[in-house]
Amino acid sequence: MIEKIKDLLKQHNRNIIFYFDEDGSFAEELEAITLEGMKVVEVKDNYFQVKYNIEFEWSKEQLFLYHPFEKPQGSALKKYPLLGLLKANPELRLDATSEFLSEYQLTDNHATIVKRYIEVLKTKTVQKKLAKILEPGIFTDDNLKLGLISITLDFHSVA
């Protein structure tokens, strides 16, 4: 887990990582993150204080912004006080769909279709066969469906 966090920070060249823990299952891991030298900041209704501290107090530290609640969606996300920071920094995601989106640098717009087909998509064989369409600019609902049909029919080419 710690290695994944470090890899995300290095990959995005950032010092801040966001994590939304809707069911509180990650709370036990926070101590291990702290022991690795990262500052764990629990975000609740302290948005102004967090923003101030990031700007003036913690600017040189690696920060793990832990949210003990579900990530806001839709209009609630637009009103989320740390939205600018969220957009500029990586978000740790631990479910299979999020892992897939992150691995292929796909956006949250692709999450619905990826979630629908994740059991098939998480196999390396299928990923190799779909390699031509697993890019942000090419990956669409239609391309994925055609790709999965091509694999089912045992075609040699997907695209």
For 105-139, the pLDDT digits (tens) are 888 788 889 999 999 998 998 999 998 999 888 99
Is the full-model pTM beyond 0.85?
A: no
Beta strand extents in 8-145 (DSSP E only): 16-20, 39-42, 63-67
- Predicted pLDDT at 159: 58
DSSP code of residue 133: G
pLDDT at residue 20 tops 80:
yes
Parallel, antiparallel or unpaired: strands 63-67 and 39-42: parallel
Other CB atoms within a 10 A radius of the CB of residue 41 amount to 18
Tokens representing 21 are: 């823990």
Helix (H) or strand (E) holding 10: helix 2-12
Could you read off the pLDDT of 64-107 as tens digits, one per residue? 999 999 999 889 999 999 999 999 999 998 878 888 888 888 88
